[in-house]
Amino acid sequence: MIGYVEADKPELKVREFDVYNGYYCGLCKAVGSDYSQILRKSLSYDMVFLAILLASLSNKEDSIEREHCVMHHIAKKPVLHDEPALDYSVDMMMILGYEKYLDDIHDGEKGHSFAGNLLSNATKKAEQKYPEVSEKIKSSLKKLYELEDAGEKSLDLTAQCFGDVMEAVFTGYEPLQDMEVEKRAISILAKNLGMWIYLIDAVDDFDDDIKNSQYNPLIFHHEGKIDKEEAVKEAEALLYHYLGEISKAYDLLDIKKNEGILDNIIYLGIRRKTDAVLIGKGNDKNGK
């Protein structure tokens, strides 16, 4: 259910593209050094967006160096260092990654015990730093899974649960606690982003969920009457409503750096991803 929040890369300026990759590679390297090299594979652009957004509220200059990487060992890549928002995003990535692993197991997918153990240990370490955030995430996901298991027909109820997850993730950053206006705006942005992610994933997985007899809010909302065209049309209105709310909340923020990158993600990236999924050209969620 993660991996949709990405920049429209062709529209980024050269320097913006370099900084964007610096955050991506910085996140990747931080996962390897703080947790495990293997867990670098679970990286997604959603967490890159989280890091860039939270870091943008500070005047602290980005410290980016060009380094070799085990994943791309020939050419040097831009890597961001010494950024608290990046470190926070790594911890959130571990917590969400383990919850996704558990959700996959719940849905009947085969889990790799080695990867599961790594994620479990990483999550325990991250939870020690952010116990309240972790508890909010778990509580919201527990409510979501209960609704799904009960075959909940309301799109709002299920989507709001994942909205609560993203709200906890985005607002748990410690420096944000002293920024009342920004925290409120990010709370609204994150909640609508979470609802958008949940619903765009439902559209993207519609055919697979029918084939595999998996829960999908769009299918249950229509009481089993499988009319994809009707379901997608209804989802489209909600998706663009969420995007509108995300944009309005974003406009309230005092962005101090990397505004061009964030504008690209908010006004181009997730909108074009929405268009692509609605016409059946999604399913690229790994962030690689």
Q: pLDDT tens for residues 100-110?
A: 877 776 666 66
How confident is the model at residue 287, as a pLDDT? 45
- Average of pLDDT values for 103-130? 79
How far is residue 17's CA from residue 61's CA, in Å, rounded to a whole number? 16
| Contact (CB, 8 A) for 186 and 171 | yes
Whole-structure pTM value: 0.92
Average pLDDT over residues 160-167: 98
pLDDT of residue 104: 72
285 pLDDT higher than 60: no
Map residue 63 onto helix, strand or coil. Answer: strand
Which domains are delineated in the chain?
A: 9-278 (1.10.600.10)
pLDDT at 111 exceeding the cut of 70: no
Higher confidence at residue 284 or residue 209?
Answer: 209
Residue 59 has pLDDT above 60, yes or no: yes
**% of the chain with per-residue pLDDT over 90:** 69
Q: Which residue has the higher pLDDT, 52 or 283?
A: 52
> How many CA atoms within 13 Å lie on the side-chain side of 278?
17
The mean pLDDT of 228-247, rounded to a whole number, is 93
User: Are 43 and 51 a contacting pair, CB within 8 Å?
Assistant: no
